[in-house]
A and B are shown apart, each in its own frame.
Chain A
Amino acid sequence: MYVSVKGGEAAIENSWRLLAQARRGDPALPELSLDTIAQQMRLAVHRVMTEGSLYDSELAALALKQASGDVIEAVFLLRAYRTTLPRFGYALPLDTGAMHIGRRISAAFKDLPGGQVLGPTPDYTQRLLDFALAADGEMPAPLPAAEPVAAQMPRVLELLNLEGLIEAERPAETGADGAAEPTDLTREPPAFPATRAARLQSLARADEGWLLALGYSTQRGYANNHPFAGEIRMGDVVVEMVPEELGFVIDIGDIRVTECQMINQFSGSREVPPQFTQGYGLAFGECERKAMSMALVDRALRARELGEAAVAPAQDEEFVLSHGDTLESSGFVQHLKLPHYVDFQSELELVRRLRQAHRAEGNAE
């Protein structure tokens, strides 16, 4: 006799316990501390903060620990927590030009004011497994630079702009009350066509893998972008806001971000002379692959605005923005695990009936 009706609660509780046990692993081994995760798994922490839309390395480390290193699950945990947080207002736009630089490169110019600053990058490592790490090897300390990194570095796009070769940056859309209040997709449903603010927010929260694949597709002929990495910079920027009750600017802390400005060829249209256009990417922490992919996709999504034919998936705004959020995609794909007895029963009944009709028809012929 089978009919599972009662007992679900006990089963659920036991599944929690098994999960906790599996998470901890062998209790003889030391437990990971949040500091250890934040320090030694920093890029995973940065990705969770970026896609989780919450700049807090300690909470992101906790989410990663709780999720046993599953980044998508960790993003989910952080987002669900974020829902409960009060909102005090909007920060002023970040001045990434005043960034305290940790890395800054341009692939468009050999040298430029401020120079190329490689920073902590795996780009020029040989990807050989380092067995010394397996044995807790010592590492050589970095050497101090011959000259200090410049305190201010002009952005490459500003240099291009002096010649009018790149499109002027557009100010943010203003809201109904005249204030430049950005769209916030965590409070409002998305609408299409999306504002650029909504698009960039959506891309910033989107899965890195999704953006990477779409960005890659634009390089292979599915939307022709001809991109150059105009500038990639990573470092700390000041977050400022004007609290309503104070009425003046206060500094509420520094955050580390990675910014990418892609330069793309544009052959011009009837209204606009040939010039370079840009795609923009920004991510918390050191999420360079994400920022670059985001910039490619941002540029591809400007097809409509620039009068280009939108023919490729990466140029299809509703398609790109509706499928990049891992909470939505992971949740819905995995909801297939939920019982569907009733729907399946309905389909069974239909298929049996159709087969009967099919047989009857065959017999009649």
Chain B
Amino acid sequence: MNTDTVSTTGAAPAAQPALSADSDYNFAFLDEQTKRHMRRALLKAVAVPGYQVPFGSREMPLPYGWGTGGIQVTASIIGSRDVLKVIDQGADGTVNAVNIRRFFARMTGVRTTTATAEATLLQTRHRIPETPLREGQILVYQVPQPEPLYRLEPRRAQTAQLHALAEYGLMSVRLYEDIAHLGAIARTYDYPVRVNGRYVMSPSPIPKFDNPKMHLNPALQLFGAGREKRLYAVPPYTPVESLAFEDHPFEVQRWDHACALCGASDSFLDEVIVDDAGRRLFVCSDSDHCQTRQQAGHTGTAVNQQGSQP
């Protein structure tokens, strides 16, 4: 596609109608035995928030590392009346999100949407939508590395023991060392959290900006790591605390800019380089949030300068 003149304000309807599912495959691709296996593991994950449940990950028609964990979770819980939203980096239009959405449209025939509020099931990579989630919604995270301790201890046989003993001293030392060397904790995404006061958990590579959204969220949050063969969960209204120290409290990123398209000053902004001189523009990473605001009449500096969008 031509990427230098693309509008974000096109008033295309957010929802795509349901199609008929591909009859060559079982509903949602996985066979029913596998779905049962997945659901059992998910129930266990919900029962022990933040605990990584090993599961028999299947080889999917998309590559490991490209969302197979999230895809398997979605495939095992999606029903024909669900409305599915898929985002990557906060946007519905990024290529892999498009591909995953098409996969489910083909394998289930369910209705898909880009509107966070309309979706019953949301699959995400690297973001939590800006629009607050509500009860009854399920957010499925694609997780590349479920083990929060892997940089400190690569052996999973060892880390399993550390979790069992709630022995998280390594992590505290690591965070402390950051403060000693750099004056601040140098983790900006995949920032470790403690769930329900017990397990230290990887929130997946969401920016730490999104961490507070996990805390006491009314939606069910499910995490799937296909390649590493682990599932975990944060049930609705579960406390999720970002690790920090009393004298170095947890803080999220702040920008000196507002979104150039919708003027939002409280959303996560992506920086885009707009010309050879390296001029930058800051825009919402959550494309649905940005469009909803624009449709409600909010505008940012880029729009004010250039008049209405093509």
Contact = CB atoms under 8 A, between A and B. Distances in A.
Contacts of A131: none
**Interface size bucket, A side?**
35 or more
Nearest to B210: A342
B47 interface: no
Contact of B186 (A8, A80, A350): A350
B8 interface: yes
B205 interface: yes
Given A186-B56, A328-B64, A332-B144, A5 B126 contact: no
Contact of A342 (B55, B89, B97): B89
Instruction: Point out which of A186, A187, A330, A333 has the most chain B C-beta atoms below 10 A from its C-beta.
Output: A187
B272 A3 contact: yes
Interface string A323-365: 0000110111111001111110111111001100100000000
A12 B12 contact: no
Interface stretch (A61-69, A190-198, A261-269): A190-198
A84 B22 CA distance: 14
A2 interface: yes
Contact of B64 (A6, A191, A193, A332): A332
A291 B41 CA distance: 35
Interface in B1-52: 1-8, 10, 12, 25-26, 29-31, 37
Interface residues of B, number: 81
Nearest to B190: A343
B147 to A, nearest CB: 12
B155 interface: yes
B253 A3 contact: no
Interface in B144-202: 144, 155-157, 182-184, 186, 188-190
Interface of B is mostly: loop
Contacts, number: 179
B222 interface: no
A1 interface: yes
B266 interface: no
B65 A10 contact: no
Contact of B188 (A12, A191, A350): A350
B213 interface: no
A86 B126 CA distance: 34
A339 B96 CA distance: 9
B2 to A, nearest CB: 8
Contacts of A354: 182, 184, 186
B1 A342 contact: no
B292 to A, nearest CB: 13
B229 A190 contact: yes
Nearest to B254: A349
A26 interface: no
Contacts of A318: 155-157
Contacts of B8: 3, 5-6
Contacts of A328: 64-65, 227
Interface stretch (B77-85, B132-140, B241-249, B279-287): B279-287
B270 interface: yes
B189 A343 contact: yes
A349 B144 contact: no
Nearest to B182: A354
Interface in A1-43: 1-12
A2 B26 CA distance: 40
B269 interface: yes
A342 B270 contact: yes
A344 to B, nearest CB: 9
A83 interface: yes
B84 to A, nearest CB: 15
Contacts of B190: 343
Interface in A149-193: 186-193
Nearest to A87: B33
A327 B60 CA distance: 10
Nearest to A353: B184
Contacts of B95: 8, 11-12, 339
Nearest to B269: A345
Contacts of A343: 126, 188-190, 205, 207
B188 A349 contact: yes
Given A3-B272, A80-B60, A338-B66, A346 B253 contact: yes
Enumerate the 6 nearest inter-chain pairs by beta-carbon distance, A residue then B residue, closest first: A331-B64, A335-B65, A346-B188, A331-B63, A332-B65, A7-B1
12 contacts: A1-B6, A4-B94, A5-B287, A6-B12, A8-B94, A76-B59, A188-B56, A192-B157, A327-B59, A331-B63, A335-B64, A349-B253
Interface of A: 1-12, 76, 79-80, 82-84, 86, 186-193, 318, 322, 327-328, 330-335, 338-343, 345-350, 353-354, 357
